[in-house]
Amino acid sequence: MNQSASIIYIKEENFYLEVYLDPFNKRIRIDDYRGNTQLVLEKAEELARMHHAEKLIMKVRSEDFFHLLEKGLQPETVVDRYFLGSDAHFFSKFYTVERKKNEHWITEDGMIHSIYQLDSSFDKPYPPKEYELKKADESCAEELSGLYREVFQIYPTPLHDPDYVKKTMKEGTVYYVFFHQGKIVSAASAEVNSFYKNAELTDCATLKEHRKYGLMKIILRELEGELKQQGIYCAYSIARSLSFGMNAVLYQLGYKYRGRLMNNCYIYDKLENMNMWVKNLANG
């Protein structure tokens, strides 16, 4: 099976499916569906078997919550107001014993507890004047890829490839970056779903020697402002559950913890759990 991810659309007489095939992370994600929920689920399971997926993820509308529970899937997280103001519940099913095992869960529970003890007030940091914030364009693609290669040994999407970065920009993903002495040292993006009016804040990376100046908080605030200008108020971010710093940044920016996706994707140097954080940008 090809290692690059792809989106397929399935239209049958009684249902419609939008499917994200993700062979690199050995998973399949149902991003959208309409029609007969039972047939949708049967098709999703068929695809999971066909593609030898270890994990199936499905973004589920609130009205289908109990149907998915009855069918043996488990809710892992929720994104408030994802579907044009209606909540999306992320349900999962695992197909191998190994994919369901995890040694870090209790540690990560403790980290969330610790983060909620932090001061949640946000003081806008002011980095030294040598740092310059910019909205990235396609001319930044090569350097952005270099940053992601340097920060992440493994990444769940092919951001190490400049052509992929350019492709995401053409599809509406917005990147903001900090330059230091002409070099990109920090970056993040907003992956916009223009139909359902939500955005995932993602691809957060800062070189280790530049992490003491709060650059990521400034970038995420800038991205939030851009989203509000587009009339998008549902913002969410999925952070590595073992990264205290990134989870703390989201908490201090007013995001709320909404659960954890177990063994969700290969990132940093292994298969990791990912925490979901959600914010209603209309509230501030």
Average pLDDT over residues 6-26: 96
* Radius of gyration, alpha carbons of the chain: 19
Q: At what angle do helices 162-170 and 141-151 cross, to 10 degrees?
A: 120
Confidence (pTM): 0.94
Is residue 4 scored above 90 in pLDDT?
no
Is residue 253 scored above 60 in pLDDT?
yes
Write down the pLDDT at residue 1: 37
Question: pLDDT digits over 92-145, tens only?
Answer: 999 999 999 999 999 999 999 999 999 877 666 688 999 999 999 999 999 999
Q: Rounded to whole angstroms, how far apart are CA atoms 75 and 68?
A: 9
Write down the pLDDT at residue 122: 65
Average pLDDT over residues 242-249: 94
Write down the pLDDT at residue 124: 67
Average pLDDT over residues 264-275: 90
Question: pLDDT digits over 152-186, tens only?
Answer: 888 888 898 999 999 999 999 999 999 999 999 99
Write down the pLDDT at residue 270: 87
Is residue 203 scored above 50 in pLDDT?
yes
Average pLDDT, the chain: 94
Is residue 247 scored above 90 in pLDDT?
yes
Of the candidate ranges 148-157, 183-192, 202-211, the one whose mean pLDDT is the lowest = 148-157
Write down the pLDDT at residue 208: 93
